[in-house]
Amino acid sequence: MKKQKNILVLSGGGFKGAFQVGALETLNANWQEITGLSTPMHFDKISGVSVGALNGAMMAMGHEGFENLLHLWYDLVGVNGVSEIYTSTIVEVIEKDKEASLKFRPEGIVKQLIPEFKVPFNFFKDLPIIFSKNRRVEFLQKLQHRILQEVGKSFQNFKGIADNTPLLEKLKKYLDRDKLVSEFRCGFVSLDTGEYHSVLAHEFETNDDFVKGVLASTVMPIVWTPVDRIAFKKDGKRVIARNCVDGGVKNVTPLGDIIRNMDKDDNYRIFIINCHDGKIQEDDFDNKNIAQIALRSLQEIAMGEIFNNDLSEFIKVNDLVKQNNENKAPDLFNYSWKDRMRTDRVLKAFDYVIIEPDTGVLGNPLISTSRIFKKRINHGKLKAKSIKRFPSDG
């Protein structure tokens, strides 16, 4: 008899991840009604990118992990906001008249690029500058040259507008792969090779590498500094991935990771909790700052498009396979884009639910205030309540 397994797939979305937490709370409260199971909420396999990797890693640690997840979001992020995850001298969250925005601080850029620069002025030696126009021009030209030199040197090490050390410390505290009760994989991209890595928890070389893998999956390029080095094994070979960032830049919903690694003899129910609504709201960018432009380009437009393609492809293929099965037609086989050939893996159809937000509700992924947090949590709970019971095992 085929075994019924439950799968959890979590998308990226920064602080929008509170939506996933609200949805998971509702699933937990209604687990028996939704699945027909008398046992507590449990997922056999969990996959996530970006904030989905953070939430997924903690969910994979069972009841203890779920409680820690609720503590992280409700008691820390929900109360103290973004400072529980990142700090920055360049951007800050401003809330005014119940509207929150990301404010760019130019003085923070100056501090980053020329942190210890001092004007080379000796009162007695350079006193003639005050009275000589030519000397003033010469002095200012030299000063400009020195500033540009300092900026050039500092800019090489300027890799992010925010510091995610607070998040790293929490991951070190909460994550222990020896306590995992679900199979967990996360995704990240190496900037050196451009390759997307989907890695199981036990494939990481050490628990520290596991922590780094989850951290890398949350690193939005430009916003945070890439993770320097992650060691893991793949197909029996040791891999060292360098300068790793959010897997969402190539794979916003890691559905493919899960589907490619499913046991052919089991039945699966897939729960997809997505923080992106798949639509882009119109906005005026005439006076937006560099951080807002970067987020708009990468998070909302590029990642939104990747998600649309990923999810729509899954739904389309899944429906075609179901039609094929209903007509009792011959099996359909998977096609490998990488190898440019058909494989011997038979395509199968899955029962699935997608929990996703209404358009424009969740807001900026880099912003979290107490008010916005509650809105995201409650919206996740609301959308998850619409889930109907999965078909019984056949």
User: Alpha-carbon distance 63 to 189, whole Å?
Assistant: 30
Identify the pLDDT of residue 365: 84
pLDDT at 124: 45
* Catalytic residue status for 246: yes
Closest CA to 59 of 170, 181, 173, 166: 181
| C-alpha span between 94 and 206 (Å, rounded) | 39
pTM of the predicted model, to two decimals? 0.83
Contacts of 151 (CB under 8 A, 6+ apart): 113, 114
Q: What is the mean predicted confidence (pLDDT) over 374-378? A: 98
Asked if residue 230 lies in contact with residue 244, where contact means CB atoms within 8 angstroms, the answer is yes
- Residue 31's pLDDT is what? 94
Burial of residue 296 (number of CB atoms within 10 Å: 0-12, 13-18, 19+): middle
Highest-scoring range by mean pLDDT, 160-169, 222-231, 236-245, 357-366 = 236-245
Q: Which of 11, 88, 198, 246 is catalytic?
A: 246
**Is residue 394 scored above 50 in pLDDT?**
no
The one catalytic residue among 11, 47, 50, 88:
50
Looking at residue 129, what DSSP letter applies? Answer: H
> Picking from 51-55, 361-365, 386-390, which range would have the lowest pLDDT averaged per residue?
386-390
Phi-psi region of 129 (alpha: psi -120 to 50; beta: other; left: phi over 0): alpha
Please report which confidence band the pLDDT of residue 266 belongs to, taking 50, 70 and 90 as the band edges. confident
- Residue 132 a catalytic site member: no
